Chains A and B, each alone.
Chain A
Amino acid sequence: MHFRKLIFRRIIEVLAIFFLILSGLFLLFHLSPGDPVSRMVQPGMSAEDASMLISQLGLDQPLWLQYLYYVKNFFTGNFGISFHYGQPVIHIIGRRLPNTILLFTTSVVLSAAAGVLWGKIVAWYKGRAIDTWVTILALVCHTLFLPWIALLFIWIFAYHVGWFPLNGMITPELWIDPTTGFLAKAADIGHHMLLPLLTLFIIHVGSYLLIMRSSMLETLKEDYILTARAKGLSEKRVRNRHAAPNAYLPVVTSIGLSLAFSINGGALTETVFSWPGIGRELIFAVSNNDYPLALACFLFISLVVLVANVIVDVLYAYLDPRIRY
């Protein structure tokens, strides 16, 4: 009962936050300088033609009316039409968002799993050489500059060694061939995904490892660990059953937070690897003042982050019964 109530309360909170984001974004966009039409007009286009373009895009309405339309449109699933692509924003997002989710969910899951596993182990061997070296390595990974390491990997593994494709999500030559089957296409996407995944993994695994390590060290000081040992349980059992589950909690929190960060780092990753995701679209949209598209990108990204946070909270409540009461 308490559990359900908690979930309900979190959802209400998240909805309120989302509405604040919705309104805040609208204001920010309309207060920022520059107008979208200035990018589309060319020398020779008369001022009348330009103002015609503005009114056709609905930009001549008063601000409060634009806001009401915006809220109404959002709740009816109408995100407007991108100024630049001339297509409904929802189509563009619909095509790009799955690509982003595919890449980033996989990378978060993999790096969190590896981070937890390795963090647990190095904490167990605290003070030995393995602990020192892995901790140093994790710190190095954590502080690497993403675009630099991405370009370096492309240069080494894709260009010189040739194990991976240079960029993109698919091999055009393969996809235009009508005889290519579904499996080959899936394999092609997987092949393109490996290098960005490796980059993201290296960037993220360090922080999970360090969090898990310090949390594990805290847990190992607890009395119940001593009790478990006193009972004569094997070291492995003490580590995996008694210590680790209690050490997971901070990692779960950090997954929720890192989803937000992985999306902003995602824009860089997607640009360097030409990965057709929503982060890259966001950069184009912002630099071209494509309000509807940029707004929708921001909204969807915040939605993903909020939903992830709810899931993390629920997971947390499940892992730690104290939260529930």
Chain B
Amino acid sequence: MTDTAISPDVKQQGRFDHIFYVLRSNPVTLIAFVMLGLILFCAIFGPTLAPYDPLLTNAPNALQPPSLEHWFGTDNVGRDVFSRVIVATRLDLTISVAAVAISFVVGSILGSAAGYWGGWLDIVLNRILDTIMAFPLFVLAMGIVAALGNTVENIIYATAIINMPFYARLVRAEVNIRRDAGYARAAKLAGNSDLRVLAMHIFPNALPPMMVQVSLNLGWAILNAAGLSFIGLGVRPPTPEWGIMVAEGANFIVSGEWWLAVFPGLWLMMAVFTFNLLGDGLRDMVDPRKRT
């Protein structure tokens, strides 16, 4: 009895030790966590942090290069680029987090069901996933947004749909190899229902690799959403959003006003980079063998 009471504690401590060990030996992951904190801070407090109103136009002050008053310069109607970039963090992050959350939940449910019960459910799901993957994913997202209508919600759904196969496949594989494991059978014999065994005993095992996937996916989802708004889908001007800001700034790059496009682009890159680094770092913690 005492054993079972102590072991989760020890295990927990061991895990934290491992995390600290990995962080110490891999400062890049630590930097990624700090950058994530910065991004979250901007997303939460963005509107109060921004020195100017992101929508406030000021025509006489248009196209000013970066200066002390306007760190990132001003755009073609005199709006402060820095404020717009900061405020946009929340929208971009919301889109990608919502999309990844939807694909996580839907993918988990479908993947668990297919992996646990198998049979025709598994076959049908696999066929559908194959078909989704048969499209170039960004192009499919374009098609979905074009069909459903040009709104921010539909950008989220489209991004969720193109991300879903990755989660469903991952969960399916993880559940499938464990459905006949000793502890799953024991739980079943102890009188738990299939659903309970699946949800409480098998699915949690799939969580660590899922977390890695989430982190890597978030970066990709941000890129996708920004790409879609870059070609004029979803977010509409004058809403501050990174993709649309780069698109608007692109018109001025050939005449040398680089700050309009470069700063939102760099910020976007930094966000994606953070999530990618974080994903790699998480993978090292979760599965040391896959370290590159």
A binds B: no
